[in-house]
A = this chain, B = another copy of it.
Amino acid sequence: MSKVYLKDIAKNLNLSKTAVSLVLNNKGDENKISQETQRRIIAYAKEHNYVPNQLARSLSRGKSETIGLIVPNISDSFYAKIAGRIEERAKQMGYTVLFSSSNENPVKESWLIQAMQNRQVDGLIIASTQKNHDDIEMLKQIEFPFVLIDRHYPEIETNYVIVDNYGGIKSVTEHLFAMGRKRIGFITIVSDLEAMRQRLKGYQDTVEQGGSPQDQVFVECLAQDQYQQRMEGVIRTMVKSPNKVDALIFATHYLAHEGLRALKKLRVKIPEEVAVMSFSEMSAFDLVDPPISSVMLPMQEIGNAAVDILVDEMDGTHAVQAHEKRRILDTELLVRQSCGNTT
């Protein structure tokens, strides 16, 4: 009842390991193993519940049927959702997922890329810290299959699946203007992420071009590691000062989360005093009073596209066109009540 190995099957059936291996890998016919022998092998394997040792298999074939996934933080619902999708899709395609979080630390990310390669993953999906130019460049150099998601390096030509950050924020800002807001504030974090840059730009451009002459740009930029402590002060200044805004856009869901906390504490009325919109959704935005309007990101699609592109890279068929491997997905504006609409 102990474990059965290939050689056990071979021995017990008086066959060679080769024959058994070929048959169990569906290469029996093309290698002219007789039907009868094939039947015996398959029957024996099934009966004794044979399952090949993947390590040995991978080592010998030089591929592991595993893809590595590196995200900044698996506890973040956004990445958790994407990870779930990737895992599901990968399984459909016959791959297992090895995942890890970089915790937004480029050194750890670099270490992980190494570690995953040692574990012979066949390809990588990376939501990078975007402070790891060298490793990404290296991966490209050695032609290792990989796809960047959510964050990409504009200066490196790679495959990626990201969202239209610029367009997403643009639509939010325009919507607020359309709702009659004049002084729109934008709260973001200090960040080198291209995504964040695009969101800021989307906001600035829209206010500058689309608004009326007196429209101004109100931006607050919080440090990544202390936005929680400083949020209340920032909100107070933006909402209570004489120079106050009448709408607020949060550049991402956790900022919105913290911001709403502050707004609640300060008893600011939404949307009467300020309209509020968030980029990227959070569960429970629909439960808050009033429900928060936001930009929805196509998380399922990010996951699916990433796997599809990666699989195409890995199997080398290159069925997917190169330009199809740089995907900027559309976002969707989800209008609830926090931006002062009337429905």
Contacts and interface: CB of A to CB of B under 8 A. Distances in A.
Contacts of A75: 77, 80-81, 83-85
A284 B287 CA distance: 9
Which of A74, A97, A114, A257: most chain B CB closer than 10 A? A74
A246 interface: no
Given A54-B120, A118-B53, A287-B284, A87 B101 contact: yes
A74 B64 contact: no
A96 B100 contact: yes
Interface stretch (A55-63, A157-165, A217-225, A322-330): A55-63
Contacts of A64: 55
- Range of interface residues on chain A? 35 or more
Interface string A34-52: 0000000000000000011
Given A83-B74, A84-B73, A100-B87, A55 B286 contact: no
Given A83-B74, A87-B74, A114-B51, A119 B99 contact: no
Contacts of A114: 51
B283 A288 contact: no
A101 B88 contact: yes
A269 to B, nearest CB: 12
Nearest to A83: B74
A98 interface: yes
A115 interface: yes
Contacts of A283: 77, 257, 282-284
B96 A54 contact: no
Interface string A76-96: 110011011101100100001
A264 interface: yes
Contact of A120 (B55, B73, B260, B282): B55
Contacts of A84: 73-75, 101
- Which of A76, A80, A282, A288 is most buried by chain B, counting CB atoms within 10 A of its CB? A80
Interface in A271-300: 282-289
A261 interface: yes
Interface in A108-165: 114-115, 117-120
Interface of A: 51-56, 58-59, 64, 66, 73-77, 80-81, 83-85, 87-88, 91, 96-101, 103, 114-115, 117-120, 257, 260-261, 264, 282-289
Given A55-B120, A74-B80, A74-B84, 6 more contacts: A75-B77, A87-B100, A96-B119, A282-B284, A284-B285, A288-B289
